[in-house]
Amino acid sequence: MPRRIAAGNWKMNGTQAALSELASIAAAAGEVSCTTILCPPTTLLQAAVQSSGSLAIGGQNCHHEATGAHTGDVSAQMLADVGAQYVIVGHSERRNSYAESDALVQAKARAVLSAEITPIICIGESIEQRESGETISVISTQLSASLPTEAQIVVAYEPIWAIGTGLVPAIAQITEVHDALRALLVKTYGAQGNEISILYGGSVKASNASEIFAVSNVNGALVGGASLKAVDFAPIMQALSDS
């Protein structure tokens, strides 16, 4: 069975003042049975690791090389060095704002694995692609071109139109996509594909979490806005633990 994972992505939010909130999230993580991950901004990573308890800490992005003349970039090796256990790669905000291609996302996933930590590989369709009936073909193409050779990965399906909008796909739509992703992972990795956690992301809240977690190939969530405060994130972790 894939691990059940509640992951939070703080995006570009949080100064040192937010470390007390992170401590509250870590305390809540100690109360649940699922795997919990928080990805704060890079500036807070090291401090976050120090107060993380059972909460795993992750980065939000990395360069695809380990070292070199890449001003302003951070490598997976550097993230691992300060205690990150995961790195999000291919988030739609990076694919769109920085024109990150599937090939680059794949190179980043490989770099994360080379640093002996786990990539969380994100994929998702735009509203135009959804409305023109291309969702399954778009996400299948994105995922297969972003996958590394090794199966030690986490996948996150985040429809772009559901991120930060309060819109959530119908349960039947989430089911259809997650079933297609599972089939693709099994085709790629054989039986190991059944062990990979597939997270749903996009406007997950305490009020909709249980319904989403009841979908058979949903193994957890990648949460943005509702991961910023323990009062919002803890019930999502709890819902996953209870599911």
Position among 198, 222, 230, 237 found at the interface with ligand 13P (CB under 6 A)? 222
- Point out which span in 42-50, 74-82, 172-180, 224-232 binds ligand 13P (CB under 6 A): 224-232
Q: Does the annotation mark 178 as catalytic?
A: no
Among 164, 187, 229, 231, binds ligand 13P (CB under 6 A): 164
DSSP state of 134: -
Q: Could you give the string, one character per residue 63-102, with x where binding to ligand 13P holds by CB under 6 A and - elsewhere? A: ----------------------------x-----------
Both tokens assigned to 50: 């120090």
Catalytic residue check, 128: no
CB distance 122 to 89 below 8 Å: yes
| Interaction between residue 167 and ligand 13P (CB under 6 A) | no
Tell me the three-class secondary structure of 78-127, residue by residue.
HHHHCCCCEEEECCHHHHHHCCCCHHHHHHHHHHHHHCCCEEEEEECCCH
35 sits in the region (left: phi over 0; alpha: psi -120 to 50; else beta) called beta
Q: What does the per-residue mask of binding to ligand 13P show for 100-139, with x meaning CB under 6 A? A: ----------------------------------------
Residue 89 identity (one-letter amino acid): V
Cβ–Cβ under 8 Å, residues 237 and 26: no
Among 58, 94, 225, 239, binds ligand 13P (CB under 6 A): 225
Number of residues that bind ligand 13P (CB under 6 A): 14
Q: Among residues 163 and 230, whose Cβ is nearest to ligand 13P?
A: 163
Q: How far is the CB of 222 from ligand 13P (least distance, A)?
A: 5
- How far apart, in Å, are the Cα atoms of 132 and each of 18, 71, 125, 136? 41, 40, 11, 11
Q: Which is nearer to ligand 13P, 9 or 35 (CB)?
A: 9
- Position 204 contacts ligand 13P (CB under 6 A): yes
- The secondary structure of residue 186, as a DSSP letter, is H
d(CA 61, CA 64): 10
**Catalytic residue numbers?**
91, 158
Applying CB under 6 A, which residues contact ligand 13P?
Answer: 9, 91, 158, 163-164, 201-204, 222-226
